[in-house]
Chain A
Amino acid sequence: DQQVKQNSPSLSVQEGRISILNCDYTNSMFDYFLWYKKYPAEGPTFLISISSIKDKNEDGRFTVFLNKSAKHLSLHIVPSQPGDSAVYFCAALTGNTGKLIFGQGTTLQVKP
């Protein structure tokens, strides 16, 4: 039972353009959603989060949008840079345990 899904395994964009990574979930009890970035041979690095009571959170070039009715969230990166090339994971949690439930990941390639 995949509660968090990232249906696009990969995405390629040109440097300077917008990258949009998508994530769908099934459990309406999730309290928070987080995005992590992962480079090869490293652990995931926290990027940005959003509470289930919000619909948007922005941090520099990164913005996360949450559509609760559609059980969908997205990460926007503007402008995209070659250093953003990595695997991006969407994750969700319920507040009590703090355990994260991850999607399968989307590999982003930003071309110079």
Chain B
Amino acid sequence: DTGVSQDPRHKITKRGQNVTFRCDPISEHNRLYWYRQTLGQGPEFLTYFQNEAQLEKSRLLSDRFSAERPKGSFSTLEIQRTEQGDSAMYLCASSPRTSGGVYEQYFGPGTRLTVT
């Protein structure tokens, strides 16, 4: 396992459709994060998991968004009834839990969503 992987890399969908993205973190990393990045901006935090527990959700995450991490391994991010404003790069990151020290997060290549 060489890093965080995300699938698909690109997704084009029509407004109103549902989409689901997958993230496979680095093995044994128990923290997993989702971020969203729009053009000209830095990534914005959406939600994070420690093992299978979803511990925090951003207010950016409307009711149309849901994330899961069954069994504390891979994670999925689903967007229901997509809107054009959902068009963005969706980034996944993972990190090990350490006792003290910085939680370096390792990012995947992202999934670029285009809603037409």
- Residue numbers of A with Cβ under 8 A of B are 4, 6, 9, 32, 34, 36, 41-46, 49, 51, 89, 91, 93, 95, 97-105
Chain A residue with minimal CB distance to B93? Answer: A43
Given contacts A43-B4, A43-B93, A44-B91, A98 and B105 within 8 Å (CB-CB): yes
Given contacts A100-B43, A102-B44, A93 and B103 within 8 Å (CB-CB): yes
Chain A residue with minimal CB distance to B48? Answer: A99
Task: Give chain A nearest CB distance to B50 CB in angstroms.
Answer: 9
Our pick among B31, B40, B45, B107 for the contact of A44 (Cβ within 8 Å) is B107
Interface residues on B, range: 20 to 34
Whether B108 pairs with A43 at a CB distance below 8 angstroms is: yes
Q: Which of B66-97 contact A (CB under 8 A)?
A: 91, 93, 95
Whether B104 pairs with A97 at a CB distance below 8 angstroms is: no
Bound form: Cα–Cα A89–B43 in Å = 9
Which of chain A's residues have a CB closer than 8 A to the CB of B108?
43
Task: Give chain A nearest CB distance to B90 CB in angstroms.
Answer: 11
Whether B95 pairs with A102 at a CB distance below 8 angstroms is: no
Task: Give chain A nearest CB distance to B36 CB in angstroms.
Answer: 11
Given contacts A34-B104, A43-B93, A93-B103, A99 and B4 within 8 Å (CB-CB): no
Bound form: Cα–Cα A41–B108 in Å = 10
